[in-house]
Amino acid sequence: MICDNSEIILSVQDLTAEVDGTQILKGLNLEVKAGEIHAIMGPNGSGKSTFSKVLAGHPDYTVTGGTVTFLGQNLLEMEPEDRARSGVFLAFQYPIEIPGVSNLDFLRVSYNSKRKHQGLDELDAFDFDELVQQKLDVVKMDPAFLSRSVNEGFSGGEKKRNEILQMALLEPKLSILDETDSGLDIDALKIVSNGVNQLTTPENAIILITHYQRLLNYIEPDYVHVMEGGRIVTTGGKELALELEERGYDWVREEEAVGAK
C-alpha cells in the first residue's frame, strides 16, 4: 500500500558490491517506505540474491560504494545479528539444515535475542511455546516440526514455510524474501503467500525477489523492479510483471539500451 508520507524504511543509493573480487552490484538505487511491497524480478545471475545478502550482511560480500540507510541508521556498519535484531529479515533461497538443534530451541534463541536487543525480558520455554503455537497457524505448520532439527529432512516447501514462521515470530520491519516461491507446488505457494499477506501491516515493508509472475497473483506488489547486471533498470506497477511474463527480459534490455541513447 503506497502512502506518500509514510516512514522511509530502506534507502539504497548507488550501491556497489563485489564477491571474490568480482563486481556484482553496479550502482543500485531503491527506496522502500512503510506499508509497501516491492517485487524485484530479473534474469538469473543479475544480482538479486547478492543484493539480499548484502542487505543482511553476509561477510563474503564486500560493499565497495554507496549507502544503505535502514530506519535512519547506516545499515552497512551493523553486524548481521544486529541487523536482524533491528528488524531486517532475509528469507533464504536455500535455508540451511542444522542437525542437532531443535527447531523450537532455534526459534526461541532467535526470538529472545531480539527481545534482549529491545530491552525486553526473554520469554521462558513455557511462554514461548504458547507464542509459537499461535504463529504455526500463519503457515499451517504441523507442531511436530518444532521438535525436529532445524530444516533437517524438510522438503523444499517445508523449509520455505519454516522461513515464514521465523518471519512471523520476529515481526521484522523489512522482510526480504529471496525466491521463497521457487520450487513450490501451487498448494504450498498459496500457504506461503497467505502467510506473508497475514504478516503485512502498514508499519512494515516487504521486498519480494522472484523469478515468476505467478507469485504476484497471490501477493500484490506496489512496485515491480527489474534488475539486470547488478542494477535496477526499470520500475513500474504490478502490470510490469505481466508484461515481463509475456515479452521476457530481452525487451527490458532493449528498452534500456534505447533509453540510454
Ligand X SMILES: Nc1ncnc2c1ncn2[C@@H]1O[C@H](COP(=O)(O)OP(=O)(O)O)[C@@H](O)[C@H]1O
Site residues for ligand X per CB under 6 A: 19-20, 22, 24, 42, 44-50, 60
Could you say which of 99, 143, 202, 248 contacts other proteins (CB under 8 A)? 99
* Region from 80-88, 192-200, 210-218, 250-258 binding other proteins, contact rule CB under 8 A: 80-88
Q: Which does 24 bind (CB under 5 to 8 A by kind): ligand X, other proteins, Mg ion, none?
A: ligand X
Q: How far is the CB of 101 from other proteins (least distance, A)?
A: 5
Q: How far is the CB of 57 from other proteins (least distance, A)?
A: 7
Positions touching Mg ion (CB under 5 A) are 49
Q: 180 is written with which cell numbers?
A: 521463497
Binding mask 38-57 for other proteins (x = CB under 8 A): ---------------x--xx
Cβ-contact 19, 61 below 8 angstroms: yes
170 binds other proteins (CB under 8 A): yes
Query: How far is 253 from 155, CA to CA, in rounded Å?
Result: 36
- Which amino acid is residue 88, in one-letter code? V
Q: How far is the CB of 29 from other proteins (least distance, A)?
A: 24
Could you say which of 27, 66, 80, 236 contacts other proteins (CB under 8 A)? 80
Q: How far is the CB of 106 from other proteins (least distance, A)?
A: 8
Q: How far is the CB of 180 from other proteins (least distance, A)?
A: 14
Query: How far is 95 from 103, CA to CA, in rounded Å?
Result: 13
Q: On the CB side of 47, how many CA atoms lie within 13 Å of its CA?
A: 25
- Helices (H) and strands (E) in the chain — how many of each? 9, 12
Nearer to Mg ion, 49 or 175 (CB): 49
Print burial letters for 147-185: b (CB count within 10 Å at least 16), e (below 16): ebbbbeebeebbbbbbbbbbbbbbbbbbbbbbbbbbebe
Cα dihedral value 90, 36, 136, 104, nearest 10? 30
Nearer to other proteins, 172 or 195 (CB): 172
Residues 111-150 binding other proteins (CB under 8 A) are: 113-114, 117, 149
Under DSSP, the state recorded for 138 is G
Cα dihedral value 83, 86, 87, 88, nearest 10? -10
60 binds other proteins (CB under 8 A): yes
Number of residues that bind other proteins (CB under 8 A): 30
Q: Is the Cα torsion angle 37, 217, 190, 233 positive or negative in sign?
A: negative
Nearer to Mg ion, 43 or 66 (CB): 43
